Amino acid sequence: MPSAGDSLFWVALCAVLAPLLTGLVLRGKVPEVVLLLVLGIVIGPNVLDLAETGEGIAMLRELGLGMLFLLAGYEIEVEELVGRGGRRALATWLICLVVALGLIALIGLSEHIHAEVAVAIALTSTALGTLLPILKDSGLLTTGFGRALMNHGAYGELGPIVAMAVLLGVRGPIGSVVVLGAFALLAVLVHRLSVRHSREGSRVLEVVRRGAETSGQTQVRLVVLLLVTLGAAAATFELDAVLGAFAAGFILRRLIPEGHESLEHKLEGLAFGLLIPVFFITSGMAIDPQAVVDEPVALVAFLALILLVRGGLVLAATWTTREEGNRVFDRRESLSMGLFASTGLPIIVAVTAVAVDAGQMTPTNASVLVAGGAVTVLVCPLLAQRLLAGRSPGSGEPVEVR
């Protein structure tokens, strides 16, 4: 059995090898996150058995998952979510959930699928945190297309998290809704307390600013405290820690609505330099490649359902979006939006972990679903970018697609 030190070495080595191989060998044609997953599979207990997710690495993994969703929540503009585009994205996600539950229930009658609710939730997810680096690097984030995708991505992450709490919670739907309300109230109180101490003239704010560029790095430490506090609160309420991380990102955005370049740079260094690669590598370590090989039909069926349910409905919503009687996005852009929205992984990892822990899903089926999520990360953004090559949808400006 690999020791914690050995495991950490191999995880760190994979974290370094992934960007080097992506740039030198693969020429940027494969997203780095996919390579992190593949390397994780190779060093994991199901292949070379060089590393395992012990207590120490498991903690780094949880922090990586938390930072992924914190940054995703931070990128969300609340005004966009409650605006016309946000309401359309919410309606689209709700329809996705209803359709997914219906389809999985029908398939479940044949006893080919178990843990139907968990699988249905996985079908409605969009990996906004995974897409953020791709959108930033390609220049799409600030376009009309990017803003629309952010809305779909926000609800494609937040919606499944809430659905997990309500539909998979141990308290039942009503009890879970009450607990969610209590958690939301706690998040509001944390926000109010943060606002109180971040007003101009506050002595606390002065100290934080003075320590921002020193070895104290007070701002970064406060963000980590915010993340850990809401993550621990979510665990206390027996909710998934992802919900706490997403709430932390929302609160951070409300505290600095105009953004903060220096803080963002530091957080991205901490997140993408250490914590997030650990999350994806350890996610790969949990995949059993033999289970995937033994269930090729299940893998293909899951991918087809993702493209049909999430991708198809987002495509339809995008294609029918109009302003002043004219379509906002053409066919290629709508298809690209559907492909981007079909990209899933973190939520699929989270929902399968919850289902396995509850005894509602076998590790074999979980491996197939996580492998399917990895395939969407590999294929969907790549195809979506190719469809947008040479254009910047929603802005009328050219963009270089890498």
Please write the tens of the pLDDT for every residue from 185-222. 888 888 787 777 666 656 666 677 776 777 778 888 99
Angle at 127 between CA 249 and CA 131, to 5 degrees: 85
CA distances to 201, 334, 348 from 342, in Å: 46, 12, 12
Closest C-alpha to 242, from 361, 93, 120, 68: 68
pTM, full prediction: 0.81
pLDDT tens-place string over residues 17-70: 999 998 888 877 777 887 888 899 999 998 999 999 888 899 999 899 889 889
Say if domain 4-387 classifies as CATH 1.20.1530.20. Answer: yes
Name residues whose C-beta falls within 8 Å of residue 296's C-beta, 6 or more positions apart in sequence.
Answer: none
pLDDT tens-place string over residues 318-351: 999 888 778 889 899 999 999 999 998 878 887 8
Q: How far does Cα 53 stand from its chain's mean position? A: 20
Per domain, the residue ranges of the chain are 4-387
Q: Convert the chain into a string of H (helix), E (strand) and C (coil).
A: CCCHHHHHHHHHHHHHHHHHHHHHCCCCCCCHHHHHHHHHHHHCCCCCCCCCCCHHHHHHHHHHHHHHHHHHHHHCCHHHHHCHHHHHHHHHHHHHHHHHHHHHHHHHCCCCCCCHHHHHHHHCCCCHHHHHHHHHHHCCCCCHHHHHHHHHHHHHHHHHHHHHHHHCCCCHHHHHHHHHHHHHHHHHHHHHHHHHHCCCCCHHHHHHHHCCCCCCCHHHHHHHHHHHHHHHHHHHCCCCHHHHHHHHHHHHHHHCCCCCHHHHHHHHHHHHHHHHHHHHHHHHHCCCHHHHHHCHHHHHHHHHHHHHHHHHHHHHHHHCCEECCEECCCHHHHHHHHHHHCCCCHHHHHHHHHHHHCCCCCHHHHHHHHHHHHHHHHHHHHHHHHHCCCCECCCCECCCCC
pLDDT tens-place string over residues 216-271: 788 889 999 999 999 898 888 878 788 888 889 888 888 887 778 888 889 989 99
Report the 10 Å Cβ neighbour count for 19: 15
Residue 175 pLDDT more than 60?
yes
Q: Which residue has the tokens 């302003």?
A: 323
In DSSP terms, 266 is beta-bridged to none
At 398, the pLDDT band (50, 70, 90 cuts) reads very low
